[in-house]
Structure 1
Amino acid sequence: MLGTHYNKHLGLALVFLFFMFCNINAQEKQRTSIDLVSYLKLLETRYDIKFSYIDKDLDGLTIVVPENLNAIEEIIQYIEGTFRIEAEKLNGRYYTLSKNSRVNICGIVLDNFADNTVTGATVEVLGTDVAKITDNNGSFSLENVPRNASLQIRYLGYVTKYVKIETLLQQRGCPKILLAQYYEQLDEVFVYKYLTSGIIKEKDASITLNTAKFGILPGLIEPDILQTVQALPGIKSIDETVSDINVRGGTNDQNLILWNGIKMYQSGHFFGLISAFNPYQTDKVTVYKNGTPTNFGDGVSSVIQMETGNSIPESFKGGGGFNLISGDVYAEIPVSNKLGVQFSARRSATDFLSTPTYKQFINRAFQDSEITLQNNSTVNDEFIRDEDFFFYDFSGKILYDLNDDHKIRLSAIHIKNNLKFEETNVSADQTNISLLKQDNISVGGQLQSNWTNRFSTNLNIYYSKYNLDAQNVFANQVQQLFQNNQVTENALKLNSNYVLTDELSWSNGYQYIETGIINATKINQPNFISEIKGVIRTHAPYSQVNYNSSGNKFIGKIGARVNLIENLNTFQKVLIEPRINLNFKLANYIRAEVLGEFKSQTTNQVIDLEQNFLGIEKRRWILSNDKSLPVTKSKQGSVGINYEKNNFYVGVEGFYKKVDGISTSTQGFQNPYQFSGEIGSYDVKGIELLINKKGDNYSTWLSYAYNKNDYTFDSIVPQSFPNNLDIRHTVTFASTYTYKDLKLSIGLNYRTGKPFTEPVDGDEGLDDDFVPPRINFQSPNNSRLPDYFRADASAIYNFQLSRNIRANAGLSILNFTDRKNTLNKYYRVNENDEIETIENFSLGITPNVSFRVSF
């Protein structure tokens, strides 16, 4: 009984304490959050003052009591800033409070599902004609709008949201406004997120890469831009480099590579094995394989557009890291609310540190070849090799906002490769020395203007200079060869966009490009000097209509570009290039796309002395002259179908592309036609398939590409034969898995071998009627290399070093099966008048590790 009585008293005590706590807590809330009118009365009593105001202006407003404020002037200033109320002191005791009928407001529109900014949302002040479009950061600002009005915020694919301006005024700064996605109404997907995080297929069939959100891919521990795009169907490098990216059977010089709107004539480090663009400063990469917008000219194969961050950072951000090849740093610095600075710098450690990765890269570039004679005996000459090699790149950007509607962006980039390579044939007591210096310096500026809520312009001006100096010293300095290739380009582009309705917009613009190229060659034995200069100017007006139907059932872009091309004292040409990009709904979860384009380009790369070890980096830019090298023109059409439901995606696309005005000197021939300069064309028929299944912590995909790529040269027998880049079948199978802070990825790559040309069998393979003797070749590209297979893996672990410093460590292994893939095979006549067979091989097993910090 005593225990029962005790428990009853204990229970009553606990109940009493609970109610006491609730009462104290309620009193505390009442003291800290109070009706504004009641708080003003407390102030009147405490400070012996009087407030005069209209009751309806303050009805419903509550205030969090500023405990750290004691002076009445500070408290009144706090009330003014919190409620956008104007306070006026009439004398020592009396104050008036009044609401401003018109106010300035700002906000940031976000996707409340992915917490991403919503760019291009319409923000309208109801009951007025005031409206604005959110910028690249999802931000907007409105001036002198009615305080009692409401905002209507709309964006396709999201629920329309209504917000009272009065509600926004009660929040400090620029409040965040969250939009809910409206899946039920649309019953479809507009963009497809596949492979790994940060890769999206947009509704216009372009592919965007967000490097900040990049996940992991097999063999990559850092988001190398030009390595990452090779994970996409239809984009590969036949020789494992980023300097030779082949898009739907095209050569690398047929890709238009842009950095902040500047055309880049150099894209790789370390003979193309590493991208020359720092991914940690690059914010977004967009890839077009077909259906290119009319504001892009040049590049008959593809467009790869890289953009750095375009908004002034709110706080300092930066980081750095290293791997077994190089180290880098980057930073984003807010100087003021109108001025910001970005920069990145990277340098190799290859000239003072030899790592396993560096050794494999060097073997790939210089040593990993096998030379056999016609009788299949191996050349066993002993070689001593020594190299001194380094590279660096630096990029920077200044961001200045004149105001909310006019913004200036200034960009600069410097890329450099420097090599000295010495090779001594011990058996022949002969030393060859090769020197290579490669530089690219580019600067550009942009003025981005919103003239009204419907009309905007973008002015882009740039200057770019690329320079390649190569020197080869043969046979103990008996023969010396000097080569120089210099490209200078000035360009101006003005683009405008006018929003006619919510569904219809009209883009127009004009582009002027002046490109000058110098090619110089000097040989001492025999004495030979050549210098070829040329300048081409292109004037290109363009126009495009963009239409999005209600609910996005139909999305279309139709336009044309007119190129007036003039090569001084040589030719003038007018080319009209229509473009079409259609996307429409077939059924729930199924959309189709129809793409087509005409394109042209006036710059190409000549590939001479391909057997020289400098390889891809030895290619030299030249201009079209409408004689030995005409303007290259392409026509392409494609049809695709995309299905996505429950994170399961299937996309298939068939295409046909024809490219005219190519030369054998630009295609990498290693047979009699290498130097003949025959003019012809190639056409590609192909199918690309991607199947991707994603889960919360994994992604698995299978991609397949079929290409039938054939040359046509009227003056070659036979006239039609397989293209040097005719890879009939390409298959990729890969998977990524994330467990907490650990990311894992593994992938398999398979493709059929590339074509090559063999000599005639037996003694007839060598023609002794010429001095020196020449090789008699069989029909062009009559043979194929063995099939290519490579397996890659990578892992990244993320962790916190401190509260504000994040870090990650990565490990990758390229070709972990150590398969010996033949990348190229060609023939030459040696000093003993024998036919030599030279084979170049892929990277062997290549490990790499990285460590990075960011803050």
Structure 2
Amino acid sequence: MFKLQGQNSEQKVSISEVLEQISKVHSITFNYESNLLNDITVTPVPENLSLNSKIRNLEKQTNLVFEKISDLVYTISKTINLCGYIKDSESEKTLSGATITSKFSYAVTNDDGYFEIELQSLNELLTIRHIGFKTIERQLRYFTLDYCDTITMLIQQEAISPVLIETYLVRGIDKKQDWSTAIDYKRFTLLPGIIESDVLQTVQALPSILSVDETVSNINIRGGSHDQNLIMWDDMKMYQTGHFFGLISSFNPHITETANVINNGSDVALTDGVSGTILMQTEKQIDSKFNSIFGLNFLNADIFSNIPIGTKSSLQIASRKSLDDFARTPTYEVYFDRITQDTEAENNSANVTNSNQEFNFYDASLRWLYQPNDKNVLRLNFILINNDLGFNETASINNISRTRRSNISQNSLAVGLYHKRQWNEKLTSSINIYNTEYKLEALNADVLNNQLQLQENIVSETSLKIDTKYRLNQWDFNLGYQFTETEVINLNDIDLPRFVRRDEEVLRSHGAFVQAWYKNTNQGFSVRGGIRTNYLTSFQKLIIEPRLSIRKTFLDQFEIEVQGEFKHQSTSQIVNFQNDFLGIEKRRWQLTDNDSIPIIESKQISAGVLYKHNGWLVDAKGFYKIVDGITTQSQSFTTKYEFARESGNYTAHGFEFLCRKKFNHFSSWLSYSYINNTYTFETLESTEFPSNFDITHSITLGTTFSSKFWNISTGLNYRTGKPTSIPMDSNEIIDDDVNFDKTNSERLMNYVRIDASAIYKFKISNSIRSEIGASVWNLSNRENTINNYYRINENDEIDKFSRFSLGLATNAVVRIYF
């Protein structure tokens, strides 16, 4: 102890003397400005330390920066503080959420657009980014250091349209000038019950977007079924959207930078998705700095890396793998029980025992971006998604134990190539080519009858799109062409008795589109109108689809919005039998035949008003939609009309309301949606009745706290139960079938769920930061019924079965940023 005290009280000397001694011992030279070291004293550095340890010792004592130029030369400089305000060059509005990064430092602008960052050298490269704006890369020496200057950013015309409303719900969820709702995951804070940036979970926080069965593979936008949503990842259409057969999104959250949600008034360049569109994009800018992220939660481990290749190219790689091969966590058990609930993987016949249940998933994503000059950008994308479930079925036959294995797999593979050419300041063209492959396969072993049944559903789609944009003053013009070829194969193969049925269908379509967009920023007026013509070669059918969106600002705080669109799609998901694919993923993709499976066509109009002032935002709109060409097989019937094969339509009209208040570090919101969704099937006994997705009332209440270190969020979800049919009282069975009462005349129990989540952020070192977080889904452990169905048992009595949502599910995450 006395020795330590003596060291601490050792007399300090001039740093120049210490440097001179180090120079003699290690034969090196220190370069610095003549007056830099004046009046700086230090405690002498122990002589037995290495050169690196001595320099680190001096850095800690003086806060000076020592930089190695060569083996013989070191430079010495002071840390440099830079502060400033970042603004939009056109509107001069401050930009919150802009990121300022250097080799060792990181900062984000606050609500006033202000930032502070500490740097080590005037030669240090500073990168400033904000979504929708051109990235600034500049050495520190070219910034104003004497005072906090204003830095302006230019709008990136080819990126997502500029922000119209920031923090529409929470920070990172914004309203764009192209009428879409955008999620920027670089700025995104937190939503209740979610600790990962799950795109398809996040969008369900918006009004009129929900999932009747709590899965991301069954998202309902304004009363539509999931197959009526166009979901694209980097301009490639995706036919598979979920891991765990729909409980979590299959799109890696670290490589997916933004997501746009469109309910109505789609751009004419988009086709399909008669109910809604979700567009996911990776980063559009080349990142010249290597960085990596590693994450681990109770479901999976993931990794992401950005690898710069020179100054003109970068490669991003992301991968995610489930933990079941290493350890089965309680969270994993809860999710597994949910997907296998009331399926053959969980319950088999009385004489068959299931065992050795294994489930795993993984995904891999790649993005290569190359910009040889200011006029050309080339992008290559790749994504692979896989889910596998297997289990053994064992039975004793003639006192001999026999075991067969059943399994189901679901996977997707997509590759896309994109090229953009900036011909001049006004003219831009792009070409996008992609191929996407989806395969759902199940091998069902009937161990009692020594039978194997193979089922396959395969979708292969290739598309080419050419898009040209021309800007003239306040006008944007768009002209383009798209060719798409879609092939769908359905296979049923039974070995005993031998039965094989293979249906293969191919549809080719041509689309031409033109659009004009007028924007008058000074008067707060914008109108976009266009028309898309589609020609389906197999049916020699021409479909014309007009699109229109109008927005006008008045009294500074108010905006009105009117949108309308016609759309069509040629693919849908149907259910042939409830035990298809082991009852786990019963829906299979099917192409239209323009007869028993019609082309689905929609018409929609909506109008709304928005108010924003002093941290308050109120957004209200009404809509009316009619969708023609649906089939009973695509509408998830599990009671009455479960086995019907008829076509019809549905009409949905409703009202959406969102109220959000920002104050200090809090953002609180209340969203409400009302919908009246009615089927019309002329050939059924019940001609008109409520849709299976008629969730009349839906309410979400939540609040998020966000600071430099903490993100905390809690929320409540409430909605009325979905419609269902029940057996006729006192006359439940007729001709060995369940005799149902009026179609969808009853409702399931109302759905209530309380969620909470929290993330803590901290720095490990100057170059490494970390996050830890935890979430609770369904905090009250309420047993929410999501579906009912009925079966006749051996005693000619009706048994009622119910499927339930997730119970109490906890998760935790650790994430490290390098």
Tell me if TM exceeds 0.5.
yes
Matched, 1:796 2:774: no
Report the counterpart of residue 341 of structure 1 in structure 2.
315
Given candidates 479, 494, 506, the residue that maps to 1:535 is 506
Report the counterpart of residue 415 of structure 1 in structure 2.
385
Report the counterpart of residue 114 of structure 1 in structure 2.
96
SS of alignment partner, residue 364 of structure 1: helix
In the alignment, the residues of structure 2 paired with residue 194 and residue 425 of structure 1 have an alpha-carbon distance, to the nearest angstrom, of: 57
In the alignment, the residues of structure 1 paired with residue 520 and residue 201 of structure 2 have an alpha-carbon distance, to the nearest angstrom, of: 36
Post-superposition Cα deviations, 1:46-100, rounded to whole Å, max 9, x if no partner, equal xxxxxxxxxxxxxxxxxxxxx999xxxxxxxxxxxxxxxxxxxxxxxxxxxxxxx
After superposition, residues 310-321 of structure 1 pair within 5 angstroms as: 310-321=284-295
AA of the residue aligned to 1:679: S
Matched, 1:843 2:817: no
AA of the residue aligned to 2:462: N
Moved more, 629-638 or 670-679: 670-679
RMSD: 3.2
Report the counterpart of residue 732 of structure 2 in structure 1.
765
Report the counterpart of residue 769 of structure 2 in structure 1.
806
Report the counterpart of residue 41 of structure 1 in structure 2.
none
With normalisation by structure 1, the TM-score equals 0.76
Question: CA contact under 8 A between 1:610 and 1:668: conserved in structure 2?
Answer: no
After superposition, residues 370-449 of structure 1 pair within 5 angstroms as: 385-422=355-392, 434-449=406-421
Query: Which blocks of at least 5 consecutive residues in structure 2 are unaligned?
Result: 1-32, 37-66, 70-87, 101-129, 156-161
Q: 1:656 to 1:534 in 2, by over 3 A?
A: same
In the alignment, the residues of structure 1 paired with residue 551 and residue 490 of structure 2 have an alpha-carbon distance, to the nearest angstrom, of: 45
Given candidates 721, 741, 747, the residue that maps to 1:778 is 741
Post-superposition Cα deviations, 1:157-203, rounded to whole Å, max 9, x if no partner, equal xxxxxxxxxx98999xxx9942699xxxxxx9932422221100123
Given candidates 215, 223, 226, the residue that maps to 1:241 is 215
In the alignment, the residues of structure 2 paired with residue 784 and residue 474 of structure 1 have an alpha-carbon distance, to the nearest angstrom, of: 36
Post-superposition Cα deviations, 1:360-396, rounded to whole Å, max 9, x if no partner, equal 11121124799xxxxxxxx999975541111100000
In the alignment, the residues of structure 1 paired with residue 430 and residue 739 of structure 2 have an alpha-carbon distance, to the nearest angstrom, of: 57
Q: 1:224 to 1:615 in 2, by over 3 A?
A: farther
Report the counterpart of residue 691 of structure 2 in structure 1.
723
In the alignment, the residues of structure 2 paired with residue 677 and residue 233 of structure 1 have an alpha-carbon distance, to the nearest angstrom, of: 32
Report the counterpart of residue 8 of structure 2 in structure 1.
none
In the alignment, the residues of structure 1 paired with residue 295 and residue 610 of structure 2 have an alpha-carbon distance, to the nearest angstrom, of: 39
After superposition, residues 84-163 of structure 1 pair within 5 angstroms as: 113-114=95-96, 116=98, 138-139=134-135
Given candidates 475, 479, 487, the residue that maps to 1:508 is 479
Report the counterpart of residue 281 of structure 1 in structure 2.
255
Given candidates 437, 440, 444, the residue that maps to 1:468 is 440
Q: State the shift of 1:692 in Å.
A: 0.6
Report the counterpart of residue 253 of structure 1 in structure 2.
227
Given candidates 217, 220, 232, the residue that maps to 2:191 is 217
AA of the residue aligned to 1:719: T
After superposition, residues 671-710 of structure 1 pair within 5 angstroms as: 671=639, 673-710=641-678
In the alignment, the residues of structure 2 paired with residue 546 and residue 521 of structure 1 have an alpha-carbon distance, to the nearest angstrom, of: 49
Matched, 1:646 2:602: no
Report the counterpart of residue 326 of structure 2 in structure 1.
352
AA of the residue aligned to 1:116: A
In the alignment, the residues of structure 2 paired with residue 538 and residue 641 of structure 1 have an alpha-carbon distance, to the nearest angstrom, of: 37
Report the counterpart of residue 203 of structure 2 in structure 1.
229
SS of alignment partner, residue 546 of structure 1: strand
Given candidates 585, 593, 597, the residue that maps to 2:565 is 597
AA of the residue aligned to 2:622: G
SS of alignment partner, residue 508 of structure 2: strand
Post-superposition Cα deviations, 1:720-767, rounded to whole Å, max 9, x if no partner, equal 0000111100011111123551221111101100011112223x3223
In the alignment, the residues of structure 1 paired with residue 534 and residue 133 of structure 2 have an alpha-carbon distance, to the nearest angstrom, of: 34
Report the counterpart of residue 327 of structure 1 in structure 2.
301
Post-superposition Cα deviations, 1:761-794, rounded to whole Å, max 9, x if no partner, equal 23x32234xxxx3222222212110111010111
AA of the residue aligned to 2:407: L
AA of the residue aligned to 1:465: E
Matched, 1:482 2:454: yes
Report the counterpart of residue 468 of structure 2 in structure 1.
496
Given candidates 516, 525, 529, the residue that maps to 1:558 is 529
Post-superposition Cα deviations, 1:793-845, rounded to whole Å, max 9, x if no partner, equal 11111111111111000100100101011010011234554322110011111
Matched length: 691
Q: State the shift of 1:438 in Å.
A: 1.3
In the alignment, the residues of structure 1 paired with residue 310 and residue 68 of structure 2 have an alpha-carbon distance, to the nearest angstrom, of: 28
SS of alignment partner, residue 360 of structure 1: helix
In the alignment, the residues of structure 1 paired with residue 274 and residue 98 of structure 2 have an alpha-carbon distance, to the nearest angstrom, of: 34
In the alignment, the residues of structure 2 paired with residue 589 and residue 225 of structure 1 have an alpha-carbon distance, to the nearest angstrom, of: 30
In the alignment, the residues of structure 2 paired with residue 750 and residue 381 of structure 1 have an alpha-carbon distance, to the nearest angstrom, of: 41
Question: CA contact under 8 A between 1:438 and 1:469: conserved in structure 2?
Answer: yes
In the alignment, the residues of structure 1 paired with residue 303 and residue 133 of structure 2 have an alpha-carbon distance, to the nearest angstrom, of: 24
With normalisation by structure 2, the TM-score equals 0.80
After superposition, residues 626-645 of structure 1 pair within 5 angstroms as: 626-645=594-613
| Structure of higher CA gyration radius | 1
In the alignment, the residues of structure 2 paired with residue 180 and residue 337 of structure 1 have an alpha-carbon distance, to the nearest angstrom, of: 21
Q: State the shift of 1:851 in Å.
A: 0.3
Q: 1:470 to 1:800 in 2, by over 3 A?
A: same
Q: 1:117 to 1:631 in 2, by over 3 A?
A: farther
In the alignment, the residues of structure 2 paired with residue 27 and residue 704 of structure 1 have an alpha-carbon distance, to the nearest angstrom, of: 68
Post-superposition Cα deviations, 1:329-353, rounded to whole Å, max 9, x if no partner, equal 0011111111110110000012331
Q: 1:472 to 1:176 in 2, by over 3 A?
A: farther
Given candidates 795, 807, 829, the residue that maps to 2:792 is 829
Report the counterpart of residue 815 of structure 1 in structure 2.
778
In the alignment, the residues of structure 2 paired with residue 425 and residue 808 of structure 1 have an alpha-carbon distance, to the nearest angstrom, of: 49
In the alignment, the residues of structure 2 paired with residue 365 and residue 540 of structure 1 have an alpha-carbon distance, to the nearest angstrom, of: 39
SS of alignment partner, residue 641 of structure 2: helix
In the alignment, the residues of structure 2 paired with residue 695 and residue 615 of structure 1 have an alpha-carbon distance, to the nearest angstrom, of: 48
SS of alignment partner, residue 618 of structure 1: coil
SS of alignment partner, residue 282 of structure 1: coil
Q: State the shift of 1:598 in Å.
A: 0.3
Report the counterpart of residue 625 of structure 2 in structure 1.
657
After superposition, residues 363-374 of structure 1 pair within 5 angstroms as: 363-367=337-341
Q: 1:382 to 1:515 in 2, by over 3 A?
A: closer
Q: State the shift of 1:610 in Å.
A: 2.8
Report the counterpart of residue 578 of structure 2 in structure 1.
610
In the alignment, the residues of structure 1 paired with residue 143 and residue 166 of structure 2 have an alpha-carbon distance, to the nearest angstrom, of: 37
Post-superposition Cα deviations, 1:287-316, rounded to whole Å, max 9, x if no partner, equal 101011100001101110000012111211
AA of the residue aligned to 1:346: R
Query: Which blocks of at least 5 consecutive residues in structure 1 are unaligned?
Result: 1-25, 30-66, 70-106, 119-133, 142-166, 182-187, 371-378
Report the counterpart of residue 52 of structure 2 in structure 1.
none
Post-superposition Cα deviations, 1:436-490, rounded to whole Å, max 9, x if no partner, equal 1111011010001100110001110011111111122235353432111111111
Moved more, 623-632 or 606-615: 606-615
SS of alignment partner, residue 753 of structure 1: coil
